[in-house]
Chains A and B, each alone.
Chain A
Amino acid sequence: MATCSLHGEDSPYFAGWEEYRNNPYDVKLNPSGVIQMGLAENTLSFGVMEDWLIKHPEATITSEQSLGLFKDLALYQDYHGLSDYRKAMASFMEAMRGNRVKFDPDRIVNAAGSTAANEVLMFCLADPGDVFLVPSPYYPGFDRDLRWRTGVEIEPIHCYSSNNFQITKSAVESAFKRAKDQKKQVKGILITNPCNPLGTISSADTLKMLLAFANKKKIHLVCDEIYSGSVFSSPEFHSIAEIVAQENYSPDNVHIVYSLSKDMGLPGFRVGTIYSYNDTVVMAARRMSSFTMISTKTQHLLSTMLSDPEFVNYYIAENKKRLEERHRLIVSGFEQAGIKQLEGNAGLFCWVNMSHLLPSNDIEGELKLWKGILYKAKLNISPGSSFKCMEPGWFRVCFSEMTISTMKVALERLQRFVKQNKVMTH
């Protein structure tokens, strides 16, 4: 396990980050450096959180009254997690879904980030050699998170641009059959909703179709809703929890993954959540969370913050507004460069079609184009092949972790690159 390459870091997705690390753009110190557009981080709404933290020193145990708390937090190592924290997380998840569903804090299991949450779920739901069906294109980290230490395998559910990459029943059945033909045991389906890298949400019909399929085949349905707080325009987001609430029974094969890394821009704090409707899974996952617990100091900070409904409502609204503005800016930049994008309404990225710029309509052509953009235009964007996209030429471009002026510089570079490339290929 230590020596194989299932850690996934040999993919261009990570290679681009390395290039950026070696030569990062800085407006003053390195204006010709690489601009990072390959990391889905949200820094747009950070100021909202900073303002709240400055006004609430008790959240970081700096006020004298709360220093007494320090000892209790320092000693608390119960894998159930602080109950105030779980309550606050449950109510935050509800607020993000417009309070259309209720989450039970006792079904929340802590994990140090959604990377860990997804892995723990795989350990609980599948044995080595078992298969999970995952719609492609999908987040490259899944190759590591779902497979590396668990021995679980991924069978992609292929989605295509012809229907805007929506998950169809026939694609699901096809993936299921492929796995069965290889004599593999399918244990479940895992989707990301809103989707990374597409930046779109799954419709209620799609979710119902997936739930019905999972129920029929007696397999699990895992919904990674890590971007549920990053939906900035219509259509409306539907959590699998809403679909479940409409059912007459509580399905014990549905599990949700959440985290604050994207919606709140706190990847450094390592805050992940598993929410399962299955009691055995809750218990097993909780025990496994001993290997990946959230620091109590962090739990305390977040339980204080997320229990403040005024802050929560303001943050959700402001984050939505800022993401929408930034998305509009980047889409207009693409238009000026003659680049089409999949119409998205969520997430921190756009899924763009650059197939018209490919030197050859295959993966080799895509990687050549990616290198050109990385080394000539000095933009780190992520090639679709690293997301297992079946159609060459699609790229994911992130838009929420840079300033507006940096984004403008990036768009100008892109426009210049496209002009030059057009001249070369015609």
Chain B
Amino acid sequence: MNARGEEKCRRVGLSKRKRNKNLSEKATCSGHGEDSPYFAGWEEYRRNPYDPLHNPSGIIQMGLAENRLSSGVVEEWLSNHPEALMISNRDLLKDLALYQDYHGMPAFRTALANFMGALGRNKVKFEAERIVNTAGTTAANEVLMFCLADPGDVFLVPSPYYPGFDRDLRWRTGVEIVPIHCYSSNNFQITKSAVKSAYKDSQNRNKNVRGILITNPCNPLGTTSSAKTLKMLLDFTQKKKIHLVCDEIYSGSVFSSPQFHSIAEIVTRESSTPDNVHIVYGLSKDLGLPGFRVGAIYSYNNTVVTAARRMSSFCMISSQTQYLLSCMLSDSDFVECYIAENKKRLEERHKLLVSGFAKAGIKHLNGNAGLFCWVNMSHLLTSNDLEGELKLWKSILYETKLNISPGSSFNCMEPGWFRVCFAESNITTMEVALQRLQRFAEKYKAMY
């Protein structure tokens, strides 16, 4: 293991004894990020999952941002369109089986581009030629890092942020994340001074900042960035000659105002095409299809499109899946119906959850998007620090049997915030979960 590898492992707290000298530093350090409570809670749920009949005292999963609310709409379309599953046409079957061009099927890219446009109320037209296929957004984000930065370079990421970024952006790429700290005092909005501060902090440590990566709508906040914020970020990145990556994976999960603005809208208003803007998208959240591994990079930079496309050899989308989705997403009636129905169902579920929080005396950040709520349980902390937060998380997990995710795993600077997902279970399970939470909150009141 070389000196850089040693240093990295020391930083992630791995003792020399435990490291296997014969394997790579990447294989043996904890860059995979799975030692966080975010993943530990999933493990606990897997061991003791709630089931209303077989295991009514099991753990209810509220830590996984999955959208099961609208799968019926997809299933209905499929039962009316068996041809999309391609069984009957031998020629088509052969073409799909052999199709290994990393450009991806043109019909698929066109359908995806149109879908992305529809999500933004067709304010923007996306060009199919700028779409690069990847097997999921996990892969898309990593490929972009490989293309935009070298090992040791920095990307600024507003915190709190999705815990998977620690792995996706850093593990195999060697890129580092410097958080742009956001606070509850202004509802966690990204401010220019916070961006400048993070930029300066990196420069002071002699790090090369290569870009900013935001998630919009934001995970875990469940809010959208305003057009003004996006413009601020675009201006900043252009001034500093760095990249702006916008992960818009929840752009089809905006269920109330304020309106969602894609960075593509801001770009369209500019007089020239900025070659430093890149969008990440995928169907795991909006269409509830994480198992099918469908991600995309949309870049305004031709060199990045070419490089990312070549790199996508390592993470291509199955042609079978491309075909199915090109049929589905080319059906404009389905797309219109799905977007509207999904929005409606998310809004209803969100309302239910928020009312449950109110009954439990728990405040939440006013959200309008995503599959989760960002809630403030700092009043329930035994100590106003990370230790207090983890204690609270454990009580909720082991006593209340709810898997929710502590803010520290999202790199939140203020202890006591938690992300609670609401689109994964059915209404009855959600009501059980809310009752448990209310009982827990009452018990806490009685104790303190």
Interface residues of A (CB under 8 A from B): 1-3, 7, 9, 41, 43, 46, 49-50, 53-54, 57, 60-62, 64, 67, 70-71, 73-77, 112-113, 115-116, 119, 123-130, 144-145, 148-149, 187, 218-220, 253, 261, 265-270, 278, 280-281, 284-285, 287-288, 290-298, 301
Chain B, range 116-172, C-beta contacts under 8 Å to A: 135-136, 138-139, 142, 146-148, 150-151, 167-168, 171-172
With A70-B78, A268-B319, A284-B28 already in contact, the answer to whether A43 and B94 are too (CB < 8 A) is: yes
CB<8 Å pairs between A and B, sample of 11: A60-B86, A70-B78, A75-B288, A112-B316, A123-B26, A123-B27, A124-B23, A278-B23, A291-B314, A293-B136, A298-B321
B22 at the interface (CB under 8 A from A): yes
Taking a contact as CB atoms under 8 Å apart, the answer to whether B24 and A7 are in contact is: no
Taking a contact as CB atoms under 8 Å apart, the answer to whether B320 and A298 are in contact is: yes
Taking a contact as CB atoms under 8 Å apart, the answer to whether A290 and B138 are in contact is: yes
A-B complex: 8 closest residue pairs judged by Cβ atoms: A268-B319, A296-B291, A2-B307, A284-B27, A77-B290, A267-B100, A268-B99, A295-B318
Task: Report A22 CB to chain B, min CB distance, Å.
Answer: 14
Count residues of B near A (Cβ-Cβ below 8 Å).
70
B248 at the interface (CB under 8 A from A): no
In the bound complex, residues from chain B placing their C-beta under 8 Å from that of A278 are 23
Task: Report B77 CB to chain A, min CB distance, Å.
Answer: 11
Task: Report A326 CB to chain B, min CB distance, Å.
Answer: 17
- CB-CB nearest in chain A for B142: A291
Q: Which of B66-74, B216-224, B336-344 contacts A (4 or more CB under 8 A)?
A: B66-74
Task: Report A268 CB to chain B, min CB distance, Å.
Answer: 4
Taking a contact as CB atoms under 8 Å apart, the answer to whether B23 and A280 are in contact is: yes
Task: Give A149 to B173 CA distance when docked, in angstroms.
Answer: 8
In the bound complex, residues from chain B placing their C-beta under 8 Å from that of A7 are 307, 310-311
Taking a contact as CB atoms under 8 Å apart, the answer to whether A295 and B317 are in contact is: yes
- CB-CB nearest in chain B for A46: B94
Taking a contact as CB atoms under 8 Å apart, the answer to whether A266 and B317 are in contact is: no
With A67-B78, A127-B24, A291-B138 already in contact, the answer to whether A284 and B85 are too (CB < 8 A) is: no
Task: Give A9 to B311 CA distance when docked, in angstroms.
Answer: 12
Taking a contact as CB atoms under 8 Å apart, the answer to whether B98 and A301 are in contact is: no
Chain B, range 81-121, C-beta contacts under 8 Å to A: 82, 85-88, 90, 93-94, 96-100
In the bound complex, residues from chain B placing their C-beta under 8 Å from that of A266 are 97
Interface residues of B (CB under 8 A from A): 1-2, 5, 20, 22-28, 32, 34, 66, 68, 71, 74-75, 78-79, 82, 85-88, 90, 93-94, 96-100, 135-136, 138-139, 142, 146-148, 150-151, 167-168, 171-172, 284, 288-293, 303-304, 307-308, 310-311, 313-321, 324
Task: Report B47 CB to chain A, min CB distance, Å.
Answer: 14
Known: A1-B307, A127-B2, A291-B315; 9 extra A-B contacts, CB below 8 A, are A61-B78, A70-B75, A112-B318, A123-B24, A126-B24, A127-B26, A265-B98, A281-B27, A295-B318
Taking a contact as CB atoms under 8 Å apart, the answer to whether B320 and A292 are in contact is: no
Task: Report A125 CB to chain B, min CB distance, Å.
Answer: 6
- CB-CB nearest in chain B for A67: B79
Task: Give A211 to B231 CA distance when docked, in angstroms.
Answer: 59
Task: Give A284 to B14 CA distance when docked, in angstroms.
Answer: 15
- CB-CB nearest in chain A for B29: A284
In the bound complex, residues from chain B placing their C-beta under 8 Å from that of A119 are 314
Name the contact of B32 in the complex, choosing from A9, A128, A219, A287 (C-beta under 8 A).
A287
